[in-house]
């Protein structure tokens, strides 16, 4: 009977944008991995190893290493993949762990392949529900789309809403403020009206703390992305000087290599600029949320003061009786608003048709761009 592993929270998706050299290395790695699976199937059929991971390692590891160029750690993880497949578990792509891939910045990562470690531009695409198996990450190819998927448990996803990807702090503050305004004091039957407002103020204070934390995270992320962008800009400038030197010494081959590196770095800058724009939106949203919370607290304090003045004559300075254990109208309004307010992510677009032709067109465009820059730089010198 097939073993079914428990689904974890989610899979974080990194979309990959390899250049021609990196793409070739990834394709060759997939081919060698299939060769490994064929070797393991042969060993399992010709011996008593079956799904015994220890026996498979003893009988097949050396042969796999000799007949493929796969990194040693990928072979070890691949043995576990083979056993999982034999046990009927769904397995896709190539297995990865922190030795086989590493995030290097806001828009790049490295992967161990049969051609060595390569650097690839990337972009975070969001989450997929669930994660199977014990292997930390997988490199997956679906048509022309390459992704690294990492099993994670996002802290910001509410337990009751697994499909929610992101909800802005400003919209959450809006729900809280709307919930407070919706609960009128004179309808708080059987409750202490002053306690209702005081509870609302405590919720507003908690919201302010949350807004400050979100704003701090966004500003720290902006600093990190901007620092990486400045590093890339500096490298592009350095390459420009080296390209000029290569041209002066009639080394067009070296100049082309430098220009190609510039083109790749400029693509990363484009991704970083988009990330900066997204973070700036979050920072602006956080600041507006803080302003909204401050205004809501001022309004709540004013209402509380008016309420206490109106209640003083009725109770001769005493506090009205109430039921402190009952849920307040603020809580009810906030829960009602939360039940109908949902934020959905934008689905990724479908893979384009004729992917091979589009890849060839992209390579042609890149080669033409390199040649045009080479001619332009020569003209200036």
pLDDT band at 192 (very low <50, low <70, confident <90, very high): low
Instruction: Write down the pLDDT at residue 16.
Output: 93
Are 202 and 278 within one domain?
yes
pLDDT at residue 72 above 60? yes
Q: Mean pLDDT of all residues in the chain?
A: 75
Are 211 and 256 within one domain?
yes
Mean per-residue pLDDT for 315-324?
Answer: 46
Mean per-residue pLDDT for 59-88?
Answer: 90
Instruction: Write down the pLDDT at residue 348.
Output: 37
Residue 321, number of CB atoms within 10 A of its CB: 9
Q: In a 3-state reduction of DSSP, which class is residue 121?
A: strand
Is residue 239 a contact partner of residue 377, using CB atoms and an 8 Å limit? Answer: no
Instruction: Write down the pLDDT at residue 361.
Output: 64
Q: For residue 70, is it within any domain?
A: yes
Instruction: Report the distance separating Cα 230 and Cα 200, nearest Å.
Output: 45
Are 85 and 209 within one domain?
no
Mean per-residue pLDDT for 176-191?
Answer: 48
Mean per-residue pLDDT for 325-330?
Answer: 45
Query: What does the pLDDT look like over 247-273, one tens digit per residue?
Result: 888 888 888 888 888 888 887 887 788
Q: For residue 311, is it within any domain?
A: yes
133 or 223, which is more confident: 223
Instruction: Report the distance separating Cα 94 and Cα 79, nearest Å.
Output: 11
Kindly state the percentage of the chain with pLDDT values over 90.
Answer: 19
Please tell me the total number of residues recorded for the chain in this structure: 381
Are 207 and 262 within one domain?
yes
Q: For residue 376, is it within any domain?
A: no
Kindly state the percentage of the chain with pLDDT values over 70.
Answer: 72
* Element housing 275 (H / E): helix 252-315
Domain that holds residue 101: 10-152
Q: For residue 309, is it within any domain?
A: yes
pLDDT band at 160 (very low <50, low <70, confident <90, very high): very low
pLDDT at residue 20 above 50? yes
Residues 6+ positions from 146 with CB-CB distance below 8 Å: 15, 16, 18, 26, 139, 140
Here the tokens at position 55 are 């026996």
pTM score, whole prediction: 0.43
């Amino acid at each position: 009977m097939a073993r079914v592993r428990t689904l974890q929270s989610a899979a974080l998706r990194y979309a990959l944008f390899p250049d021609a050299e990196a793409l070739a290395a990834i394709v060759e790695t997939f081919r060698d991995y299939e060769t490994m699976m064929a070797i393991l199937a042969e060993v399992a059929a010709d011996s008593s190893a079956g799904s015994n991971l220890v026996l498979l390692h003893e009988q097949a590891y050396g042969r796999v290493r000799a007949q493929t160029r796969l990194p040693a750690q990928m072979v070890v993880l691949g043995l576990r993949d083979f056993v999982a497949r034999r046990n009927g578990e769904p397995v896709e792509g190539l297995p990865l762990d922190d030795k086989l891939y590493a995030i290097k910045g806001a828009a790049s990562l490295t992967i161990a392949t049969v051609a060595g470690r390569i650097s690839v531009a990337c972009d975070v695409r969001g989450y997929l529900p669930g994660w199977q198996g014990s292997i930390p990450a997988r490199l997956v190819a679906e048509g022309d789309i390459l992704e690294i998927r990492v099993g994670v448990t996002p802290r910001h996803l509410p337990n009751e809403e697994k499909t929610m990807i992101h909800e802005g702090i400003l919209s959450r503050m809006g729900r809280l403020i709307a919930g407070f305004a919706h609960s009128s004091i004179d309808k708080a039957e059987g409750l202490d009206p002053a306690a209702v407002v005081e509870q609302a103020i405590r919720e507003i204070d908690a919201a302010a703390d949350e807004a400050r934390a979100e704003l701090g995270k966004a500003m720290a992320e902006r600093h990190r992305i901007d620092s990486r962008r400045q590093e890339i800009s500096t490298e592009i400038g350095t390459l420009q000087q080296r390209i000029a030197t290569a041209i002066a010494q009639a080394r067009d081959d070296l100049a082309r290599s430098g220009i190609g590196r510039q083109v790749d770095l400029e693509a990363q800058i484009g991704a970083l600029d988009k990330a900066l724009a997204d973070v700036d939106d979050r920072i602006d949203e956080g600041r507006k949320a803080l302003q909204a919370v401050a205004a809501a607290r001022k309004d709540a304090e004013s209402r509380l003061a008016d309420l206490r003045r109106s209640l003083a004559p009725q109770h001769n300075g005493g506090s009205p009786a109430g039921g402190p254990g009952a849920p307040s109208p603020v809580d009810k309004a906030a829960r009602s608003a939360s039940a109908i307010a949902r934020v959905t992510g934008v689905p990724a677009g479908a893979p384009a048709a004729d992917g091979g032709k589009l890849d060839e067109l992209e390579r042609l465009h890149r080669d033409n761009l390199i040649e045009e820059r080479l001619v332009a730089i020569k003209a200036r010198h």
